A and B are shown apart, each in its own frame.
Chain A
């Protein structure tokens, strides 16, 4: 019988073999503890479910193994010599197929690969899933990277998609082609498939590129939300709970209206400004499993307030359920981020290339505010814009914020 990394809970994908409680040759009875397995829930004593003798141990203490990885061969009553010989061969093959654990840059980018020892038959880690398709046809081994051998098109695609060729080069033997790059990008951006580390890598690449390439300007202005919020409260009071509208939808709707009047901020920079007629704002949404995703609200410019609210709920549901469509993943023309729920006052974002603007909202705060000659306590939100200075000037950004303010003072027009 091959003793495999047990599944100690439905959500367990792997466990650390903390300590063998047996050695080769030990006789075990059903219920004996064979090893201590460390999971996210703590150290669990793993029992054996049949009587037998420990024939061979291959799993190493202190190493993390995916569920189902062969760890040892135990001879039970049912096993004849032939079975045991086969099992030993299988277990040794699996152990021999273990990729040598390398300390190095690959693991700083893919933290999970540090923990997950790879075996030939084992389920793959996030990094391996991403690179697996390529590695299968090329070479499994992580290699030293000297000069990167990538085709010109691969370099171009990598630049466009924000993929780090150096990381890819460690996994691909021979030349990197555009297909390799696109495969990685597809895996990275596939909803639900990307684990936080892969997502972190994608975000890291895009943001590094953004900061390196885009000269940003930042502007912010406080907007009095008091009347907008009280209008919204009155509106919601008349509605059933499921038809109620969140302030976030109102703000998105206002941003879209303002963008209609300042279209230079909606679109791309591709060796020159390329404004987009359609407005598909990317809405920053936190994922339950970590990481942030900014799916596009497609055709927001054609929506009224109710439709915007429905679209927002739909986006949140889809993001959290990992069911975004490919257009929602790729067609953002501008980004809106709202970090208000975390209590920050102002957001100064980093533009997602090749977009040319990012609009941020902080927390709606009660503030002393001059109304006429008096001081009043008003609900105020800090709206900000990060603009690509190649595409527009601060004046355009200022104009946008002024429009946004004006629109939010007349919320009924947003219906």
Chain B
């Protein structure tokens, strides 16, 4: 069925559907039960499924993430929700040393079919400890998959895809997207994990983005089209694995590259993408690759400073204009 719903509703529908279909699925995290989730994603699910399947946890990311790993290894299909990816660092040992590596360290005996959802990104004046974008860091780790749904459809579909995956999958939901409406087709066949998607065709340059920055890129592309610059905008969708094929194909078409990444530029996913393009498509480049990233500061609290720190459609458009003048 096709309709317009919010990103928040899309995630809720996906969790609800999964829990209805498979009783091994449960949701655990701070405030997911009685409070309905800090972003109201799980509102109403406690009433429907009870406190054994919608589990309010104490403030202990390492503890409940570890619990999720144990449950997954024992046949359950846990969805662990971490309020923001900033807090996931408290569970870093569980995610990296256990979830990501148990399959390898058990000689292939134990899969960890764990799904961790977390909010990411800045823009809500929540200051440094609630506003960072660590998806690029996690994309460094072999053994886990990192998904960054931008569209309402992906927000829904990726929950199901992640639950079907035998290995740990991290889903980064940009907190500013929850209220965003978009088309949703409950019967659509999900695009698999690891595939990027061309959201707008263009011949002059490729803009690679993910999460909320996809929309900033699309807005910039609209503006640029009025100036005669046709940007191709690609939604990366998955940061690990990255879809090299789609990236290279787009570069081969446009010969110019801009990456929009809300992470800090040093050691970021944008740096990784640049490196791959260099390895696989060097002779397609007609200008140095460029990127719009977050300023290398902890995200500030004041609105104007926060806005100045993170990527915007204006910054993307300005970077494109500079890039088009190159070479």
Judge: A and B partners, yes or no. Answer: yes
Residues of A within 8 A of B (CB): 151-156, 174-179
Instruction: Flag if B283 contacts A155 (CB, 8 Å).
Output: yes
CB-based nearest B residue for A149: B327
Closest 6 pairs between A and B when the two form their complex, measured CB to CB? A177-B327, A153-B286, A175-B327, A156-B283, A151-B286, A152-B283
Instruction: Kindly name the residue among B285, B286, B287 whose own CB sees the greatest number of chain A CB atoms within 10 A.
Output: B286
Q: What are the residues of chain B within 8 A of A155 when measuring CB–CB?
A: 283
What total of A-B pairs shows CB separation below 8 Å? 32
CB-based nearest B residue for A176: B327
Q: What are the residues of chain B within 8 A of A179 when measuring CB–CB?
A: 286, 327
CB-based nearest B residue for A180: B327
CB-based nearest A residue for B327: A177
B326 an interface residue at 8 Å Cβ cutoff?
yes
- In whole angstroms, how far apart are the Cα atoms of A177 and B256 in the complex? 11
Interface flags, B116-145, vs A, CB<8A=1, else 0: 000000000000000000000000000000
Q: What are the residues of chain A within 8 A of B287 when measuring CB–CB?
A: 151, 177
B255 an interface residue at 8 Å Cβ cutoff?
yes
Interface flags, B313-327, vs A, CB<8A=1, else 0: 000000000000011
B49 an interface residue at 8 Å Cβ cutoff?
no
CB distance from A183 to the nearest CB of B (A): 13
> What are 30 A-B residue pairs whose CB atoms fall within 8 Å in the complex?
A151-B285, A151-B286, A151-B287, A151-B327, A152-B282, A152-B283, A152-B284, A152-B285, A152-B286, A153-B255, A153-B283, A153-B284, A153-B285, A154-B286, A154-B327, A155-B283, A156-B283, A156-B284, A174-B327, A175-B327, A176-B327, A177-B286, A177-B287, A177-B326, A177-B327, A178-B255, A178-B286, A178-B327, A179-B286, A179-B327
Q: What are the residues of chain A within 8 A of B286 when measuring CB–CB?
A: 151-154, 177-179
Q: What are the residues of chain B within 8 A of A174 when measuring CB–CB?
A: 327
CB-based nearest A residue for B251: A153
- In whole angstroms, how far apart are the Cα atoms of A155 and B283 in the complex? 8
- In whole angstroms, how far apart are the Cα atoms of A152 and B286 in the complex? 6
- In whole angstroms, how far apart are the Cα atoms of A73 and B326 in the complex? 43
- In whole angstroms, how far apart are the Cα atoms of A152 and B283 in the complex? 5
Q: What are the residues of chain B within 8 A of A177 when measuring CB–CB?
A: 286-287, 326-327
Instruction: Flag if B285 contacts A175 (CB, 8 Å).
Output: no
Q: What are the residues of chain B within 8 A of A175 when measuring CB–CB?
A: 326-327
CB distance from B277 to the nearest CB of A (A): 11
Q: Which of B273-327 contact A (CB under 8 A)?
A: 282-287, 326-327
CB distance from A82 to the nearest CB of B (A): 42
- In whole angstroms, how far apart are the Cα atoms of A386 and B286 in the complex? 36
Instruction: Kindly name the residue among B255, B326, B327 whose own CB sees the greatest number of chain A CB atoms within 10 A.
Output: B327
CB distance from A117 to the nearest CB of B (A): 31
New A-B pairs, 18, CB < 8 Å, besides A152-B283, A156-B284, A176-B327: A151-B285, A151-B286, A151-B327, A152-B284, A152-B286, A153-B255, A153-B283, A153-B285, A153-B286, A154-B286, A174-B327, A175-B326, A177-B286, A177-B287, A177-B326, A178-B255, A178-B286, A179-B286
- In whole angstroms, how far apart are the Cα atoms of A155 and B285 in the complex? 10
- In whole angstroms, how far apart are the Cα atoms of A262 and B301 in the complex? 75
- In whole angstroms, how far apart are the Cα atoms of A174 and B326 in the complex? 10
Q: What are the residues of chain B within 8 A of A154 when measuring CB–CB?
A: 286, 327
CB-based nearest B residue for A178: B286
CB distance from A157 to the nearest CB of B (A): 9
- In whole angstroms, how far apart are the Cα atoms of A174 and B283 in the complex? 19
- In whole angstroms, how far apart are the Cα atoms of A116 and B287 in the complex? 35
CB-based nearest B residue for A155: B283
Q: What are the residues of chain A within 8 A of B285 when measuring CB–CB?
A: 151-153
CB distance from A159 to the nearest CB of B (A): 9
CB distance from A151 to the nearest CB of B (A): 5
Instruction: Kindly name the residue among A174, A178, A179 whose own CB sees the greatest number of chain B CB atoms within 10 A.
Output: A178
Q: What are the residues of chain A within 8 A of B255 when measuring CB–CB?
A: 153, 178
Q: What are the residues of chain A within 8 A of B284 when measuring CB–CB?
A: 152-153, 156
CB distance from A156 to the nearest CB of B (A): 4
Q: What are the residues of chain B within 8 A of A151 when measuring CB–CB?
A: 285-287, 327
Q: What are the residues of chain A within 8 A of B326 when measuring CB–CB?
A: 175, 177
- In whole angstroms, how far apart are the Cα atoms of A176 and B286 in the complex? 9
CB distance from A124 to the nearest CB of B (A): 24
Instruction: Kindly name the residue among A153, A176, A179 whose own CB sees the greatest number of chain B CB atoms within 10 A.
Output: A153
- In whole angstroms, how far apart are the Cα atoms of A151 and B287 in the complex? 6
- In whole angstroms, how far apart are the Cα atoms of A155 and B326 in the complex? 16
- In whole angstroms, how far apart are the Cα atoms of A178 and B326 in the complex? 11
CB-based nearest A residue for B278: A152
- In whole angstroms, how far apart are the Cα atoms of A155 and B327 in the complex? 12
CB distance from A303 to the nearest CB of B (A): 36
CB distance from B67 to the nearest CB of A (A): 51
Q: Which of B59-84 contact A (CB under 8 A)?
A: none
CB distance from B248 to the nearest CB of A (A): 13
Interface flags, B32-53, vs A, CB<8A=1, else 0: 0000000000000000000000
- In whole angstroms, how far apart are the Cα atoms of A178 and B327 in the complex? 8
CB distance from A71 to the nearest CB of B (A): 39
Q: What are the residues of chain A within 8 A of B283 when measuring CB–CB?
A: 152-153, 155-156
CB distance from A232 to the nearest CB of B (A): 50
CB distance from A132 to the nearest CB of B (A): 19
Q: What are the residues of chain B within 8 A of A178 when measuring CB–CB?
A: 255, 286, 327
- In whole angstroms, how far apart are the Cα atoms of A154 and B287 in the complex? 10
CB-based nearest B residue for A174: B327
- In whole angstroms, how far apart are the Cα atoms of A156 and B285 in the complex? 10
CB distance from A378 to the nearest CB of B (A): 54
CB distance from A362 to the nearest CB of B (A): 41
- In whole angstroms, how far apart are the Cα atoms of A144 and B242 in the complex? 43
CB distance from A152 to the nearest CB of B (A): 5
